[in-house]
Amino acid sequence: MEYLQKESRSQLTLYTTCLDDMIAADNTVRAIDTFVDSLDLEHLGFASLASQGRPSYDPADLLKLFIYGYMNRMRSSRRLELECNRNIELIWLLGNLKPDHNTISRFRKNNPKAIKRVFRATVSIAQNHNLIGATLIAGDSTKLRAQNSKKNNYNLKKVARHIEYIDKKLEEHNTALAKADNDKEKQDHKDQIDKHNKQRKRYEGINKTLKEDTTTENPQLSTSDPDSRHQITRGMITEVCYTAQTTVDADHKVLLDYKVTNENDKKRWETCCAEQNPSLKPTNSPLSTTKAITRAASLKQHTI
C-alpha cells in the first residue's frame, strides 16, 4: 500500500503565498485585530512611551497578543514569546513582530487597570449591538486554591488552641525539669522550654494581629498568601483559597462581570449585583427590573 507523498523541504514554489491568505476569513484572530484597533488605548489608560531612544512596541500589538493568549490558555510570557516565533496566527496578528518575554511581562505589569478596562469595553460593545437583554443575569463561582497551606492559615480559635497546647507542654517540661537528675536531661528540657516559648511568642503576635483586624467578624491570617482565606469548597471539604465570581446575561450568554475575592459566594454575589445594576439597561425588553439568579444550596432570585 502506498503512502501519501510529502513535499521536499527544499522544493521551490513558483507562486508565493500571501500571509493574509493563510488565515481564514472567520478566524478568531481577525476579530481580535478589529476589536483592539477600535479601542482608544490612551483613553483606557495604557502607559504612553517616551519618544526618544529605540522604537518600542505598539501597546495595541501587545494587547492583541495578551487577548490571544488568554483565549487559548497561554498566560506565560515565555510561552507567548515562543508562540510568536512559530504560531502562524500570531505571526499574522502581530505582523511578524517577536517581542521577548521581558517586554511581554512588563506590559502586563505596567497596565493592570487598563487591561481590566478592555474587558469593560467588550461589555459596552455588546450592549451597543443589542446583545445584552439585561432582564435576566446568572452568576456562578468557583474556588481557586491559594499557595497558602491550611497549616499557615490562622484564626482566633486556632491560635487559642495552639497557645493552650504550648502552655500544657511548658507545664510538663517545667515539672520534668524540677525532677531531672542529670545535666543532659535538664538541658533537653531547657531546650524544649526555649523552643515552646519562642512558638508562644509567635502565636501571641498572630493573636494580636487578628484582634486588631476590625474589617470582619471572623478575621483570618494567611502567612504566605495574605489575601487568601480558609473557605468551604464543597460539602465539608475546606481549602485556603479565593472565590472567582462571574455574571452572565441570559439572552446571548455575554459575560458581564468577574471578580476574584476572598469572600464567600453569598456576600460576593450581593456585591456583584449591586455593581452591575447601574450599568445594565434593558435593550430588548420593556421590563424595568433585572432578575438575577445565583447557584447556591438552593436557587435564589434577586431583583436589582
Most confident of 89-93, 138-142, 241-245, 250-254: 89-93
* Residue found by looking up cell 476590625 in the block: 214
Lowest pLDDT segment from 60-64, 83-87, 282-286: 282-286
Question: Does residue 280 surpass a pLDDT of 50?
Answer: yes
Confidence of residue 263 (pLDDT cuts 50, 70, 90): confident
What is the arithmetic mean of pLDDT over 251-268? 81
Backbone angles phi, psi at 62, to 5 degrees: -70, -35
Q: Which of 88, 95, 18 is nearest to 64 (CA)?
A: 95
What is the arithmetic mean of pLDDT over 264-268? 63
Lowest pLDDT segment from 26-30, 46-50, 124-128, 224-228: 46-50
Q: Domain coordinates of the chain in residue numbers?
A: 19-123, 133-147+225-303, 152-222
18-50 pLDDT per residue, tens: 889 999 999 999 999 999 999 999 999 997 766
144-163 pLDDT per residue, tens: 999 999 999 999 999 999 99
Helix-helix angle 28-37:59-71, to 10 degrees: 140
Question: Does residue 2 surpass a pLDDT of 90?
Answer: no
- pLDDT of 233 reads 87
Q: Which of 223, 173, 220 is nearest to 194 (CA)?
A: 173
pTM of the full structure: 0.71
Q: Which of 235, 204, 206, 208 is nearest to 221 (CA)?
A: 206
Confidence of residue 224 (pLDDT cuts 50, 70, 90): very high
Residue 19 DSSP class: G
162-201 pLDDT per residue, tens: 999 999 999 999 999 998 888 889 999 999 999 999 999 9
Confidence of residue 214 (pLDDT cuts 50, 70, 90): confident
Question: Does residue 239 surpass a pLDDT of 50?
Answer: yes
β-pair type (136-145, 291-294): parallel
Query: Cα separation of 294 and 304, whole Å?
Result: 13
- pLDDT of 121 reads 92
Residue 122 DSSP class: H
